[in-house]
Amino acid sequence: LTICFFIVLLIYFLLSQYYVSSLGNMYTYIINPLFFIIMAIILKFTVASPYKTNKYKKDFIQYILITVLLYSFLYLLSGILTGYGTNPYATSIRGIVFNLYSSGLIIVLKEYIRYKLINNVFKKDRNLICVLAIIVFTIQDVNIASILNNINMYYLFKSIFYVVIPSLIKNVLFTYIELYTDFIPASIYQLLSYALLWL
């Protein structure tokens, strides 16, 4: 069952990379949220909740808050050296609500799905499932179509070091966190990081 869910996610991620630009707002505001809502509901009712003591959850949340504050400070400080650009996100109240719906909701649902899937297996299979989760969620961050359309050494080098490796590290971190706590610390990390841009 877990492998089947990962296959569905992988197919969806790959299809969305090829058709996202042609569907525009319909994908952003209807298809993508609907897919993750349906996946989360199915997992909620088909996968039993794992027994967790959550003894590390409070510590993880504290470390994440410190990390996000440090990241935000360095991010804003770097603007002094490189200059500040125009925020690509909508900054009106309506825009912030749309950002929270189209991106914030997806972040929470994706982390919930990852949490349910990596904790839905026996302990002996957990390492393999964690590796699978890291690969599938990294593929979602990497625009494979763009890499295949621009095959040259510069673009490949830039894609590996600017997109693939950071995404891989991020997914290793979130998978590790969700293995020992639940989806809330990873969601907080991402929501607060994006809130800096959204707000």
Q: Is the overall model pTM greater than 0.75, yes or no?
A: yes
91-109 tens-digit pLDDT: 677 877 887 888 889 999 9
Q: Say yes or no to pLDDT of 54 above 70.
A: no
Q: Say yes or no to pLDDT of 79 above 80.
A: no
Rounded mean pLDDT of 76-100? 74
- Long-range contacts of residues 134-140, Cβ cutoff 8 Å, at least 24 apart: 134/168, 134/171, 134/172, 134/175, 136/6, 136/9, 136/10, 136/13, 137/110, 137/167, 137/171, 137/174, 137/175, 138/164, 138/167, 138/168, 138/171, 139/10, 139/13, 139/14, 140/9, 140/13
Q: Say yes or no to pLDDT of 90 above 70.
A: no
183 within 8 A of 174, measured Cβ to Cβ:
no
Q: Say yes or no to pLDDT of 50 above 70.
A: no
Q: Say yes or no to pLDDT of 2 above 60.
A: yes
106-156 tens-digit pLDDT: 999 999 999 999 988 888 889 999 999 999 999 998 877 777 777 788 888
Task: Collect all residues with Cβ–Cβ distance below 8 Å to 173 and sequence separation of at least 6.
Answer: 186
